[in-house]
Amino acid sequence: MASPQSAFPPVNGLADVASPPTPIVPPVVQPSKSAFSPLTSIYSRFSAWRDSLGLPNPGTAENLQKEVKSTHLTNFIFDGARADLTKSLSMNPAFQLTHSFALGSQTVAPSYNLGAVFANNNTLLQGSIDHDGNVNGRMNQGWTENNVTRMQAQLSSRAGQNMIQVEQDYQGKDFSLNAKAVNPSPADLSGIYIGSYFQSLTKNLAVGFETLYQRPTPEMAEMTTSYLAKYTGTNRDWIATAQLQPAGILQASYWQKFGEKVEVAADLQCIAAPQRRDAIATVGAKYDLRMATFRAQLDSTGKVSALLEQRFAPTFSFLVSGELDHFKNAAKVGVGVMIESSTLTPEEMGMPPQVPV
């Protein structure tokens, strides 16, 4: 008797095909949770919450009073005669040489300085040497848009005038972090170390601190901390700052911009130390005209200062500076010129060629 399988021949003469075996799926192994998972989750939620606030970057602690210093004459006033002759050798990358002359000053000896600047998108190199052989150099290296390394050096034939400074600056979305070392010594860790942190609390208010650690010798060390605050107007047209320094020193400033051409600024410094109690107030204004810039300043010590920069051409400027001290019955006057020249064609300077109309 035939078997049951032989009783039913294959359909259409096709042989039986065995069904494929069922694939074996390996079991899914759940990854073990790290001990830091709760902290990572909390940090992620905190970062997402900070991003949702849309807080701006507050700037650096070093530039807390940047707008005030740009309006006042402290960094611009001079006396005697000076001349700055600049020659641009390249525009992309930028490379220029500067010859600076100064004489007739009541506070600074006559000097000559030769400077050079090289800059591209990520690197800035600047150096100078004067008639006494003193050399100054500076380098800025931008690793990313928010991370910059800065170095400064000064070499002098005079004892105690040599200096090297290394600085690291990081700009976050709503904070800035800076670390700086002046004349650091890896052997005994002597030198000056400065660290600062500036954080935006709201879209207008930012607070921070700056800590200074001095160690001139391994046996001596001192640390002080200053506290900073900055309030910016909603339209970014006025800024108020305050800085509380050790030993009872308070410095406050106010800056406001009226339109596109007028800026005013005020600065107040109060000293309430046991050995000294004093206060100095300074007010100033800056006017930007079409071909000139005028600055004026008055302080509580009786000094009235003014500076006029007249640009007769984009490459030629004439400067007149004056300061009158009413309490000391003294006066200072300065004149200067700034000339910039270039013999390169637009193509040689890296600029697009001009197409005739």
pLDDT at 35: 62
Least confident of 6-10, 132-136, 175-179, 251-255: 6-10
Yes or no: say if 207 and 229 are a contact pair by the CB < 8 Å rule. yes
Confirm if 67 and 57 have CB atoms less than 8 A apart: no
Report the C-alpha gap between 114 and 126 in whole angstroms: 11
Between 64 and 23, whose confidence is greater?
A: 64
Q: How far apart are CA 11 and CA 201, in angstroms?
A: 82
| Torsion of the alpha carbons at 182, 185, 189 and 192, rounded to the nearest 10 | -10
261-271 in b/e form (b: 16+ CB < 10 A) is: eebbbbbbbeb
pLDDT recorded at residue 353: 55
Between these two residues, 8 and 217, which has the higher pLDDT value? 217
Of 195, 221, 189, 218, nearest in space to 208 by CA: 195
Please provide residue 70's backbone torsions phi and psi, each rounded to the nearest 5 degrees: -70, -25
- 8 has pLDDT over 90: no
Please, what is the average pLDDT of the chain? 86
Q: Which of 54-58, 149-153, 160-164, 344-348 has the lowest mean pLDDT?
A: 344-348
**Is residue 321 scored above 50 in pLDDT?**
yes
The 10s digit of each residue's pLDDT in 31-79 is 545 566 777 777 778 778 777 778 999 999 999 999 999 999 989 999 9
pLDDT digits (tens, 9 = 90+) for 137-148: 999 999 999 999
Please determine, for residue 335, whether its predicted confidence score (pLDDT) is greater than 70: yes
- Report d(CA 119, CA 89) in Å as an integer: 12
**Tally of CA atoms within 13 A in the half-sphere of 288 that contains its CB:** 10
Q: Is the pLDDT of residue 349 over 70?
A: no
Q: Which domains does the chain have, with CATH numbers?
A: 66-341 (2.40.160.10)
